[in-house]
């Protein structure tokens, strides 16, 4: 298929590298030198110009494209380009953003883009995963965030790691016997690219990907269950409060992990302290030995180094190790640094640009598994239906509703989400959030 890529920076280059062999790729950038470099390396067409203009987009032949990836480092350019593409062609759009608020608006379907990726958030998730608490991949929210639909990768047991009790009470047991967190339901189990309906005798196995409907608290509880027990770290110091550092802190705080942020610029430190009331922010450099000593940084369970320069991160990480910190994660900006960091003994090196590119490429390859929002019209659908007065199911207890291969994940009554149990019943005017097989959509809509 034909793919248009906006931006020939590191993310763009990584995407081109992954896609150029199987697809017709056109790259757009303002910088002629970058375009030249990319076209010498890969067999792609290039257009020089501002991708957020109609003229340049038409020049790329966007009309025939199936996919447009806007991955410049400027959010607004990416968004304008995606908006234009929606009007100019039928291509699906992927937008890279560094602003969590755009991402939130997209999740609530207020921005018309097929897929949105934030380098900062993907990096933060990767860090969270490394620390042992996999952050939920939130794919959809309803009722002002009271109902979330999230995905988890179930960690494979037996890879030298012990599991927690909570994990053992959920995984490898028939669902009817498993201890599922309150206010949540397993909506689907994806095993080897097949989606299974989670009936009572089905069980979640290691290596599965599961989709859960539940409250934000339940989603957090699930991520605790999916955590690998022996590595659970609960006191993390993040060095560098740039966009990435802040996003890492935010994701970790969301997992109820204690976070300390160290930032050398006093104005930025203040800004971040205002933004994240739950984190403790310090204005210091990561290489101030007195500071490390005074704040007992060595006793923290992990250090994340997210400052702007790779060599600073490397030195600060080594220093923290000298002070006794157990686990170090470095954020790198040059692809080559990954190897440097790992050779130097940093436990994990995370490259945000390659993670972003991977995420985008994964979507480009197979949007079905990746994104629930994209399931529409396929095998499963999420319906958000208001229950009619005349529905036959009104005021019938849930336990006596007929099994139809669909599942009422939550109901929203007077603006409050309720996660129904067997004894609850539907009332007229409720908003029901239903996860159902596509062929049953008409049936479900009729029944309600």
Least distance CB 327 / another protein (angstroms): 23
Q: Based on the shown chain and the rule CB under 8 A, indicate whether residue 169 belongs to the binding site for another protein.
A: no
Q: Based on the shown chain and the rule CB under 8 A, indicate whether residue 295 belongs to the binding site for another protein.
A: yes
Q: Applying CB under 8 A, what is the total number of residues that bind another protein?
A: 16
Contact range with another protein by CB under 8 A, out of 178-186, 265-273, 333-341, 395-403: 265-273
Q: Which of residues 87-146 bind another protein (CB under 8 A)?
A: none
SS3 state of residue 353: helix
Contact range with another protein by CB under 8 A, out of 3-11, 80-88, 266-274, 355-363: 266-274
> Pick from 109, 169, 199, 270: which binds another protein (CB under 8 A)?
270
CA neighbor of 445 nearest in space, from 378, 377, 384: 384
Contact range with another protein by CB under 8 A, out of 126-134, 157-165, 280-288, 434-442: 280-288
Q: Based on the shown chain and the rule CB under 8 A, indicate whether residue 280 belongs to the binding site for another protein.
A: yes
d(CA 279, CA 245): 12
Least distance CB 274 / another protein (angstroms): 4
Q: Based on the shown chain and the rule CB under 8 A, indicate whether residue 281 belongs to the binding site for another protein.
A: yes
Nearer to another protein (CB atom), residue 293 or residue 445:
293
Q: Is the backbone of residue 129 left (phi > 0), alpha (psi -120 to 50) or beta? A: alpha
Query: In this structure, are strands 67-70 and 92-97 parallel, antiparallel, or unpaired?
Result: parallel
Least distance CB 275 / another protein (angstroms): 9
Each as own residue / partner, the long-range contacts of residues 21-28 (CB below 8 Å, 24 or more positions apart, any chain) are 26/2, 26/60, 26/61, 26/65, 28/4, 28/56, 28/57, 28/60
**What is the radius of gyration, based on Cα positions, of the chain?**
24
Least distance CB 241 / another protein (angstroms): 10
Half-sphere exposure of 137 (CA within 13 A, CB side): 20
Q: Based on the shown chain and the rule CB under 8 A, indicate whether residue 414 belongs to the binding site for another protein.
A: no
Instruction: Write the DSSP symbol of residue 194.
Output: E
Q: Based on the shown chain and the rule CB under 8 A, indicate whether residue 294 belongs to the binding site for another protein.
A: yes
CA neighbor of 128 nearest in space, from 7, 226, 240: 226
Contact range with another protein by CB under 8 A, out of 115-123, 227-235, 273-281, 302-310: 273-281
> Given the structure tokens 């952050």, which residue do they identify?
135
**Six-digit token string for 37:** 């470099």
Interface positions with another protein (CB under 8 A): 262-263, 266, 269-270, 273-274, 277, 280-284, 291, 294-295
């Amino acid at each position: 298929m034909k793919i248009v890529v906006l931006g020939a920076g590191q993310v763009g280059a990584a995407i081109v590298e992954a896609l150029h062999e199987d697809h017709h790729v056109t790259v757009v950038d303002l910088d002629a030198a970058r375009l030249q470099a990319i076209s010498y390396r890969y067999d792609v067409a290039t257009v020089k110009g501002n991708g957020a203009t109609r003229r340049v987009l038409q020049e790329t032949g966007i009309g025939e494209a199936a996919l447009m990836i806007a991955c410049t480092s400027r959010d607004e350019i990416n968004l304008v380009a995606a908006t234009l593409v929606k009007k100019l062609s039928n291509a699906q759009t992927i937008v890279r953003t560094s602003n969590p608020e755009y991402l939130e608006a997209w999740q609530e379907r207020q921005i018309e883009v097929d897929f949105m990726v934030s380098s900062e958030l993907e990096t933060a998730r990767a860090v969270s995963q490394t620390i042992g608490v996999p952050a939920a991949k939130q794919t959809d929210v309803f009722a002002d965030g009271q109902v979330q639909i999230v995905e988890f990768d179930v960690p494979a047991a037996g890879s030298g790691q012990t599991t927690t009790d909570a994990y053992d009470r959920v995984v490898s047991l028939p669902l009817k016997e498993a201890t599922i967190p309150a206010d949540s339901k397993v909506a689907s189990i994806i095993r080897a690219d097949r989606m299974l309906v989670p009936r009572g005798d089905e069980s979640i196995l290691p290596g599965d990907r599961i989709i859960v409907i539940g409250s934000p608290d339940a989603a957090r509880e699930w991520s605790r269950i999916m955590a690998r027990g022996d590595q659970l770290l609960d006191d993390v110091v993040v060095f560098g409060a740039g966009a990435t550092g802040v996003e890492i802190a935010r994701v970790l705080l969301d997992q109820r992990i204690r976070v300390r942020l160290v930032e050398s610029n006093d104005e930025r430190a203040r800004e971040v302290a205002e933004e994240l009331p739950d984190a403790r922010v310090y204005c210091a450099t990561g290489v101030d030995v007195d500071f490390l000593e005074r704040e007992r940084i060595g006793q923290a369970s992990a250090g994340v180094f997210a400052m702007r320069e790779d060599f600073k991160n490397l030195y600060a990480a080594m220093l923290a190790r000298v002070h006794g910190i157990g686990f170090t994660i470095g954020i790198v900006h040059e692809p080559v640094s990954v190897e440097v960091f790992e050779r130097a003994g940093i436990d994990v090196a995370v490259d945000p640009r390659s993670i972003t590119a991977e995420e985008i490429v994964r979507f480009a390859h197979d949007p079905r598994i990746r994104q629930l929002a994209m399931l529409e019209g396929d095998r499963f659908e999420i319906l958000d239906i208001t229950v009619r007065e005349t529905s036959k199911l009104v005021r019938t207890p849930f336990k006596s509703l007929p099994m139809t291969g669909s599942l009422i994940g939550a109901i929203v009554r007077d603006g409050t989400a309720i996660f129904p149990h067997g004894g609850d019943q539907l009332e007229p005017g409720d908003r029901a959030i239903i996860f159902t097989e596509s062929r049953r959509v008409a049936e479900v809509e009729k029944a309600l």
